[in-house]
Amino acid sequence: MTYTVIYDGNCNLCVTLVQLLERLDRGALFRYVPMQDQARLQQFQISPQDCEQGMILINQAQPEQRWQGSNAAEEIGRLLPAGAVFVSAYRSLPGLKGMGDRVYEHIRDHRYSLFGNRDSTYRSVYPECESGACQR
Q: Which domain holds residue 12?
A: 3-132
Domain count, the chain: 1
pTM (predicted TM-score): 0.91
pLDDT, residue 136, reads: 46
Query: Of all residues in the chain, what percent carry a pLDDT higher than 70?
Result: 95
What integer is the mean pLDDT of 35-46?
94
SS3 state of residue 33: strand
Least trusted range by pLDDT, from 46-50, 62-66, 89-93, 115-119: 89-93
Q: How many CA atoms lie within 13 A of 47 on its CB side?
A: 2
b/e per residue, 42-61, with b = 16+ CB within 10 A? Answer: eebebeeebbeebbbbbeee
Which of 11, 43, 19, 16 shows the shortest CA–CA distance to 128?
43
